Amino acid sequence: MQYQIIGEPTPVVQCTVDAGESLKTESGSMVWMSPNMNMSTNAGGGLGKALGRMFTGESIFQNVYSAQGGPGMIAFGSSFLGSIRPVQVTPDKPVVCQKRAFLASEMGVELSVFFQKKFGAGLFGGEGFLMQKLTGNGLAFLEIDGYAVEYDLQPGQTLIVDTGALAMCDATVSIDVQTIKGVGNVLFGGEGLFNTKITGPGHVVLQTTSVRSFAQQLIPYLPAKG
């Protein structure tokens, strides 16, 4: 497979595949394709994995697109202003990402639910108790809200980030929460009660905004219900 990411801040990833080669994607992500791309819809790994995807914000069903009779082309589009990042998933390097981050992948990549190890991290860490985990072997494409900033954390190296800023990380990265100190800071600082604490080793992708924070900014401008 060959690919090209086009058009930030409303990007698409355009993929070219050989005859018989397939890609899977979340429901509704296809933007354009060549006429020889054949679509099939299934629950993608059975009922258990389908329900797991539902809990992380994805559709129960996945679409599989296959090139018939020759090379094919297909483009998948992001659902929000931001970035699309390619991620190489291998058996020894699974990836954890925010809910609804999965866009598309090669068939060897498996999408499942990831439970935060610490309840506090899941409850207050900005992404809820459930995240997504990508395992297997293949290339995956993830949606990042806003601009993506990447770090490689060394063992024990820590970053404190706003809740919702963690878009993706290696499974080796530890995720926890840190209480904001000081009553005045909590009441008037506008940052809430908690920040997310991430500790290496591992690769981390942070995002400069999120769908949730964008929606919160719009609330004051929405008409009141009468």
The domains of the chain are located at 2-221
- Whether the pLDDT of residue 126 is over 60: the answer is no
pTM of the model: 0.81
Cis amide prior to 223 (ω within 30 degrees): no
Show the CA angle centred on residue 79, arms to residues 74 and 82, nearest 5°.
Answer: 100
Least confident of 5-14, 56-65, 100-109, 138-147: 56-65
Percent of the chain with pLDDT over 90: 51
The CATH number fitting domain 2-221, selected from 3.60.160.10, 3.20.140.10, 3.40.47.10, 3.40.50.2300:
3.60.160.10
113 pLDDT band, cuts 50/70/90, is: confident
Indicate if the alpha-carbon torsion angle 200, 102, 118, 176 is positive or negative.
positive
| Interatomic CA distance for residues 165 and 145, integer angstroms | 9
